Each structure stands twice: as C-alpha cells, then as structure tokens.
A = this chain, B = another copy of it.
Amino acid sequence: MTNIIYKNKLIKIEIENSEIPWLKIFSQELYKEFSDAPKEVREEIFRLLEIIEKEMIAFFSPTKINIASFGNYVPHLHWHIMARFENDSYFPEPMWGTKQREGSYELRDFDRFIEILVSKIK
C-alpha cells in the first residue's frame, strides 16, 4: 500500500502516518539540497506548500502550521508540512522534540481532507 496521494512529473505528495495531519512533498528526481533542484521544482514545492497550508488551516483550524526540510537521514529533497494542535503529543515543541504529554487530539475526516486537497491541487 502506498501513501502517495498525488504526483506529477516534478514532485509527489505522501502521507506521514501520525496523530496529526502531516504530509511530505518529495522531488521526483534525487536532489540532496533544495538549491540543487531546478527552479521549476522549487517553485512547484512552494506552490504546493502554500496550497496545503491553506487547506489544512481551512479544514482543521490548527493552532499552528509547521514546515520543515531536514533530510539528515534520507538525503532526498523533501519537505514536511504539519497541522499542530495544543493537545497533540509534542506541542509547542516540534514533532521531533520532547514529548510533552499523551496527546488527546483526534484526527477526523482525514480522507475527506485529502479528497478536497487533491481537487485544489489539480
């Protein structure tokens, strides 16, 4: 089973299995750093980050959106975008930080969100 919800010739979008709404955008070609990718790939990633952020805000009303690109384990250019909530397990720490509590955020209607998101991207 794949977690890919959308792809085109430049990028693919995958779901990260998590307690929160969390998507990852990978470049189709292998690049280590963001500045290694051609302009059209960088612009496509920014276009999608903006659409995903807006749709996450509209659908989930999160406390904050978090965005990150690390790639220290997997040197294949990818960006994380996450909707964060005061009652998730790590807030206000990043999802890579120290766990703050047993989170009580309940992720609902994620499939419906993905449907709406994909319709906005296309």
- CB within 8 Å of B: which residues of A? 32-35, 42, 46, 49-50, 53-54, 57, 63-73, 75, 84, 91-94, 96-98
Oligomer: number of copies: 2
Complex interface: chain B residues within 8 A of A75 (CB): 64
> Apart from A64-B75, A66-B72, A72-B91, what 12 extra A-B contacts exist at CB < 8 Å?
A33-B53, A34-B49, A35-B53, A35-B65, A64-B70, A64-B71, A66-B71, A67-B68, A67-B70, A70-B94, A94-B94, A96-B97
- Smallest CB–CB gap between A16 and chain B, Å? 15
Question: In the complex, are the beta carbons of B70 and A32 less than 8 A apart?
Answer: no
Question: In the complex, are the beta carbons of A72 and B96 less than 8 A apart?
Answer: no
